[in-house]
Amino acid sequence: MPDISLGEFYKKVVCKGVRLQNNFTVGCGETHGHWRKGLIKMKKNVTMRAAGFLLVGVMLTASIVSGTYAKYVTQDSAQDTARVAKFGVVAAVSGDLFGKSYSAASGNSIQAWSVNGPTVSASGATEAAADKVVAPGTKNGTGMTISVTGTPEVSTSLALVDAVDASGNTYVNTDIELKTGDYGVMVAYNGTVTTDNVTSYYKLDNGTYIAATAADLGTNPATKLYQFKDAASVAASYKPVTWKVGDTSCADVAAVKTALAFTTTTAAPNTDLATAYGSKTITWEWPFSTGNANAVTGNTPNDGLDTILGDMIADSGDANYTVVKANGTGYDTVNYADVNAAANSANTVKVAYTGATAPTVMTDASVCAVLTVSFGAKLTVTQVD
């Protein structure tokens, strides 16, 4: 029912009856109290109806608003942990190849410096002052072993190369070597010399030993004469130390390096590296005698060559005892020097040479002998992708 003022309502009631909600009729001529009650009841119904419409509106509005903030959602979650993969690899190059003292009781193998009765022993007031040495008859049957152990959880690769020093310079492996030529020792002679045998002796002339003549006997004072001893001829380079890698014989350190090549150089994770890579052991020997002995002298083929090497290392510049090498017309004095094994090498070696100028490296043409044996190796095991 539309809203009307009290005055309008009164006029309409007076003139004619008006039908109200719930069949309540106010007729013309009704008393004022009766139509007022009807009016109040009608207003209550209007209020309730308005409240219902308001509730519906609120619910619709809430639905619309809530729809405005809705979105697609999907979810997942996970967690994980891990530890460091095991490495635990030991790459080892162990054992001494050479010693300062060798024992007859153990077949001329290396023994402790303090043990009595050595067959070969380096000179020196103390062990620290003594050099490591090798000589005919000495050997090392246990040698140096190159090995890898461990079972890492990563892939690995193995590399064996020459040893290097802290500056990255290579440690050059060297053999004791007497190069081709005719050698001997000039020893001062103080006995009687006659014109009949004078040509069997030598005199020193500007650094070269040449045959003496009868004229050298008549000088005053007499010319100093020398005897030529310990003659040895080297037709091919002589390397007395022989090597083995396992059961493989090696003529020199170059062959040792070849024999040390590992067959397997990579391994998968969780592989026993001692089994996969294996190990290599290097041993050596300087034979005391080689070949058949001479029926007259009793010497074996290597005796004279070994003697020259021993004489070279013993020569200290004594004018009465000099190692020489033939030059075609006489004999040149052999001199000695410590030089680099190669340019910028990590190690030096003792060499014998002829001529007035000392060499700078072991490979110089003037070098006629190398008097130091050297071997070194660097083993590396690396994780690989």
pTM of the model: 0.76
The residue among 95, 103, 136, 138 whose CA lies nearest residue 119 is 103
Q: Pick the most confident of 26-30, 113-117, 123-127, 344-348.
A: 344-348
Q: Pick the most confident of 213-217, 287-291, 294-298, 324-328.
A: 324-328
pLDDT(4) > 50:
yes
CA dihedral 126, 131, 137, 143 (to 10 degrees): 100
The residue among 310, 288, 301, 279 whose CA lies nearest residue 379 is 279
171-220: pLDDT as tens digits: 999 999 999 999 999 999 988 899 999 999 999 998 899 999 998 887 66
Residue 304, C-beta contacts closer than 8 angstroms, at least 6 positions apart: 230, 231, 232, 233
pLDDT at 20: 46
pLDDT(294) > 80:
yes
pLDDT at 277: 94
In the block, which residue shows the tokens 């290599």?
280
> To the nearest whole percent, how much of the chain has pLDDT over 70?
80
CA atoms lying within 13 Å on the CB side of residue 268: 0
pLDDT(9) > 60:
no
Mean of pLDDT values over 144-149: 96
66 or 152, higher pLDDT: 152
- Residue 58 identity (one-letter amino acid): V
pLDDT at 109: 87
Confidence of residue 117 (pLDDT cuts 50, 70, 90): confident
222-274: pLDDT as tens digits: 789 999 999 999 999 999 999 999 999 999 999 999 999 999 999 999 999 99
Specify the long-range contacts of residues 307-313, CB closer than 8 Å, at least 24 apart.
Answer: 307/230, 307/232, 308/178, 308/183, 308/184, 308/185, 308/230, 308/232, 308/369, 309/176, 309/178, 309/240, 309/369, 309/371, 310/135, 311/185, 311/230, 312/336, 312/352, 312/369, 312/371, 313/350, 313/371
